[in-house]
Amino acid sequence: MEREKIFDELKEILKLIKPSADFSTIDENSQLVRDVGLDSLTILLLSLAIENKFAFKFEGNPKFNTVGDVIDYISSNTTI
């Protein structure tokens, strides 16, 4: 799957999880906690939504700091 398509899908998931965030300024360098405003609960919801959308299960306990980190992980683990 193309990186841009993954980014678009991820933004749609984030909009559902954190509708109050300003997504006009979100890019791959955006920090999940500082810029998007995620907390431990919304990160858990994000993980579950990613697993459902991209049809894979997270292995271990990956650490994501930025939107780009999440895209990298999805890109290397999805078969869609």
Query: What topology does CATH give the domain 3-77?
Result: 1.10.1200
Q: For the chain, first and last CA: distance in Å?
A: 6
Report field, pTM of the whole predicted structure over 0.85? yes
66: three-class secondary structure by DSSP: strand
29-70 per-position pLDDT tens digit: 999 999 999 999 999 999 999 999 998 888 888 889 999 999
Helix (H, G, I), strand (E, B) or coil at 31: strand
Q: How confident is the model at residue 80 (pLDDT cuts 50, 70, 90)?
A: low
Residue 20 DSSP SS3:
coil
CA triple 36-39-43, angle to 5 deg: 85
Instruction: Give the number of residues written for the chain.
Output: 80
Q: Cα angle vertex 10, ends 8, 12, to 5°?
A: 75
